Amino acid sequence: MVIITEEAYKKALEIVELAPEEITFFGFVVEEGVDLIINEIFLPKHQVCQPAHTNLLAEGYDELIDVEAELREKHGSGFFRCHFHSHVNMGVTPSGVDDSTLSEFLEDIPYFLTIIMNKKGEHHLRVGFMGMISTETLHFYEKEKVRSNDFDFFKERIEEITDYSKESSNKNYPINYGYGQNWVQPSFIGIDDKYNPKARKAKKKTKE
């Protein structure tokens, strides 16, 4: 069973509410028996967000590594094994790029979670385990009208991310996936080659 704590769920909702475009953030997952508990949310600063895709930069993954170490010390165990991203005002059905991104993560680790959300409060959870991907139910506390402890922080950080994204050229990012009437399919583009599982394996083979 995948469970998200009340505070973590509030934070996820607030990030999606505040972000004007797609945005990426991560959930810290702790294993408790057969359950996976998402108990912390982290919003990396170093990412480029556009209306229909988001790209986490290498510096963003450096942030994840540092914060993960801090949270593991706090909780005794756990990993950033849950990737969230917003589809803004569109549906939460995964795109083809979302599928390939989850598959890439599963090449190096036994399990990984992805949650797509939108401003309507909808979400779509998928669990990747030992190479198999399935849609599951996310068990969470009901949304309350109370802000999380990090609401002001999220608001300020999202403004910084939005400003940075506008300044970025993004000329190397795909802008069209050919779905429907030639509209852009929402997707998580992925990670820089420095952290891309396939790129790491390719470099390893080259060295050999």
* Beta strands 35-42; 47-49: pairing state: unpaired
pLDDT digits (tens, 9 = 90+) for 99-120: 877 887 777 788 899 999 999 9
Token pair in block for residue 145: 């009208």
Per the structure, the count of domains in the chain is 1
CATH assignment of the domain containing 74: 3.40.140.10
The torsion region of residue 71 among left (phi > 0), alpha (psi -120 to 50) and beta comes to alpha
Average pLDDT over residues 160-185: 54
pLDDT digits (tens, 9 = 90+) for 36-64: 999 999 999 988 887 777 888 888 889 99
Please give the pLDDT value at position 141.
52
Please give the pLDDT value at position 185.
37
Q: Percentage of the chain with pLDDT > 90?
A: 34
Q: Which domain holds residue 65?
A: 2-207
Which residue, among 44, 36, 32, 40, has the nearest Cα to 12 in the 3D structure? 40
Q: 3-state class of 49 per DSSP?
A: strand
Count Cα neighbours of 142 within 13 Å in the Cβ-side half-sphere.
2
Q: Percentage of the chain with pLDDT > 70?
A: 77
